[in-house]
Chains A and B, each alone.
Chain A
């Protein structure tokens, strides 16, 4: 038990929520964070919180659900390990609405006698972002907080808070049992034969993922989106690149995909799922969509908005949306001609 952080470090586990931050580092920061006894808040003096994030909101992702259905015991075991390791901590099990309905009773049963509260996600995509989760649990609109401070230092109710993805805790459990072999869950969807969730090695290239799942298209009439609904688009010649972001690979058949409609769909998603707090995201995405609904797109407008999304958004949503559309535009839409 003492060496769990060392074990995690040796395993080189990186957070499975998409940002791929070193789990050992995060746990160490959380361990070192002082839980200040705040006088005005006596019931929570000295507390630390752990949040299990099982609230994937990306329409391409289904691995949280897969884990809850098939490996809940391991997830809870990972949570137990962390609760034990971080003495005096309490946990929130944060679940997407449908997962909450489906798995609530099993989770309650498995976490009996543990300081764990189950919390139903009050929103959609953005409500799964780590600081939005904190806002939601504190009873406010689920919107990203400004960082720093980072949750590990000052999170839920201003206390140090460790937000871990369910898959990260699943891996922690496997590490503690010596079973972890650098696996990761990949979600494959789109125009391919073998869709679904696959457990493969971490750090694979797109090509390897497609090969190992027997999904590699035979011709070059396709393109790829990796890293989720706001992820980057890739051409067949780029699939030797390692997967970044969320572990999602979507294959689009060029013959049956209208990339303009695809861009509109992504922009509509970003437009309805953004929190509205910051100007470039709220207004920029709205105007990008406007351009994509026109027959002629104004290049200058597109580039100006891509810049503010990349440079000035508060959370990654706007930046990702901009990059995603930009790659779709340059590689697929404009590249086609």
Chain B
């Protein structure tokens, strides 16, 4: 692409033609403030905070939407620009009820940092939204509309997710973002609204109030598990690099918090892979129920149950990793340890808001107990660590507890889009052919494109597989199948609701964009590459527990490792305030 020269604040800048002023400035280390701009979303440009002066232009133009031109002269800090920026920020603050201590953006709030940089009088105007309601979407996601600054990022991302649960109502100062009343649309709790709202108006249930409940379980044995993707994301909360691998520090941190036992959900993922592969092999041999759809992602499962009930029977019945591990802990592990399962409090650290919903599904109980008692998101764990003044970056590495110890590399890549499929086919291939895979890397299913496809040849048969990330892409694919059922000749389809898979989940640290997701995913693949055992079914723990427990007790295996699905009714919207 041709580069062009232009000036920002009298400094000559070179950037690719077609870039916006904001992009070119960022690349060249020049800071231009922006709020509604997010690289995942369209340029709107609503907030008007990025207005800059351009020689020859009468009005200020928004840097996020104006493309660079040769010899253009841009000024980002003239008195006129500063004055407009300050006033617009003050107007934005007049809509936004500040609750900074209880905010998902704390301490990285761009709004607040802009206020400080521009000497904004936050309360220059009286908050006009003080009495706006706080909604609860089926007790999973909360939306405090008195914090909303009307940028509409949430509406857009919800639509991009193929959901469209959030709507713009009315006009002018009466405009509101509201959950839709349409009966055929429901929230699937992916939490992408949280990840794309610059004003912290969204959070998951209990995000601030309930984080300590896990530590207050008197007389109980507390067991914690952490999801694959946390190990390359939580470091960001403690000023470490994007995608930095911090598994052992994470284990140390969890011990320091006082958990009695620390386990790895990736080991649970190895069980999921083992069960799921068996299902795939069975379905291939019986030539029915194809394509098999992955079911680790609770948002995706709910999406199918609500929007595509004709595919319910295609979802693998294998439980998600956290549920399998929770179930094993409350049965096999409890027995081994001599602990009454009723005295075990199982906590999951998840990158995900929908996992909070998953643990309440009654189909996932084991002996009448929920397999997992409490879910904390990555953000919540980070907040808890900060509250307890645990200096994460300085912690000495620690190891997992033995009994259900180290995962394989296959279990770790579950956290990135394509990881479940790659893991499943490392195992499935060997089960189908009886031969060992020479190369375990399935490069075709890696990456960040919305829909990726690959073909696996085993025993002379070619199996088409597809990997989808971002529910909007799943909607495209399954709507296409509705119109052209004959085109659905896939053996297996993995769907993750969030962009990039769990590394881009709704419970992850903020900010988040494509580059950050890529860094987090690369961290996971790096772990996989450096792990000795990279096939789930070869995990000695998996082998041992099957031998000692599941192969002897088929009923327990079914109860602990499998689940059922059914058509879902629309969740309830409550107004909390």
Interface residues of A (CB under 8 A from B): 141, 146, 271-280, 282-287, 290, 301, 304-305, 307-308, 310-314, 319
Q: How far is the CA of A126 from the CA of B549 in the complex (A)?
A: 69
Q: Output the nearest chain A residue to B60 by Cβ-Cβ distance.
A: A311
Residues of B within 8 A of A290 (CB): 125
Among candidates A141, A282, A305, residue contacting B172 with C-beta atoms closer than 8 Å: A282
Q: Are B87 and A308 in contact (CB under 8 A)?
A: yes
Closest Cβ–Cβ distance, residue B477 to chain A (whole Å): 16
Can you list 11 A-B contacts (CB < 8 A)? Answer: A272-B171, A276-B174, A279-B46, A280-B91, A282-B173, A283-B91, A285-B173, A308-B84, A310-B59, A312-B60, A313-B48
Instruction: For chain B, give the interface size range.
Output: 35 or more
Q: Are B88 and A146 in contact (CB under 8 A)?
A: no
Residues of A within 8 A of B44 (CB): 146, 277
Total of A-B residue pairs, C-beta within 8 Å: 97
Closest Cβ–Cβ distance, residue B121 to chain A (whole Å): 11
Q: Are A278 and B48 in contact (CB under 8 A)?
A: yes
Residues of B within 8 A of A277 (CB): 44, 46, 152
Q: Are B84 and A307 in contact (CB under 8 A)?
A: yes
Residues of A within 8 A of B46 (CB): 277-279, 314
Interface of A, helix, strand, loop or mixed by DSSP: helix
Interface assignment of B45: CB less than 8 Å from any CB of chain A: yes
Interface of B, helix, strand, loop or mixed by DSSP: loop
Chain B residues numbered 102-119 whose CB sits less than 8 Å from any CB in chain A: none
Q: Are B48 and A283 in contact (CB under 8 A)?
A: no
Interface assignment of B12: CB less than 8 Å from any CB of chain A: no
Among candidates A276, A286, A307, residue contacting B128 with C-beta atoms closer than 8 Å: A286
Q: How far is the CA of A51 from the CA of B168 in the complex (A)?
A: 27
Q: Are A286 and B173 in contact (CB under 8 A)?
A: yes
Interface centre among B47, B48, B94 (most CB of A within 10 A): B48
Closest Cβ–Cβ distance, residue A19 to chain B (whole Å): 14
Q: Are B91 and A279 in contact (CB under 8 A)?
A: yes
Q: How far is the CA of A76 from the CA of B88 in the complex (A)?
A: 45
Q: How far is the CA of A132 from the CA of B48 in the complex (A)?
A: 19
Residues of B within 8 A of A282 (CB): 150, 172-173, 175
Residues of A within 8 A of B62 (CB): 312
Q: Are B60 and A276 in contact (CB under 8 A)?
A: no
Q: How far is the CA of A53 from the CA of B200 in the complex (A)?
A: 41
Residues of A within 8 A of B80 (CB): 307, 311
Residues of A within 8 A of B65 (CB): 146
Q: Given A280-B48, A311-B84, 12 other A-B contacts at CB below 8 A? A: A272-B174, A276-B171, A276-B174, A278-B46, A279-B46, A280-B88, A283-B92, A285-B172, A287-B94, A307-B83, A308-B87, A313-B48
Residues of B within 8 A of A287 (CB): 91, 94, 125
Contact string against A for B residues 74-97, beta-carbon threshold 8 Å, 1 for contact and 0 otherwise: 000000100110111011101100
Residues of B within 8 A of A271 (CB): 172-173
Q: If the complex has contacts A286-B128, A304-B83, A307-B87, are A276 and B94 also in contact, measured as CB distance less than 8 A?
A: no
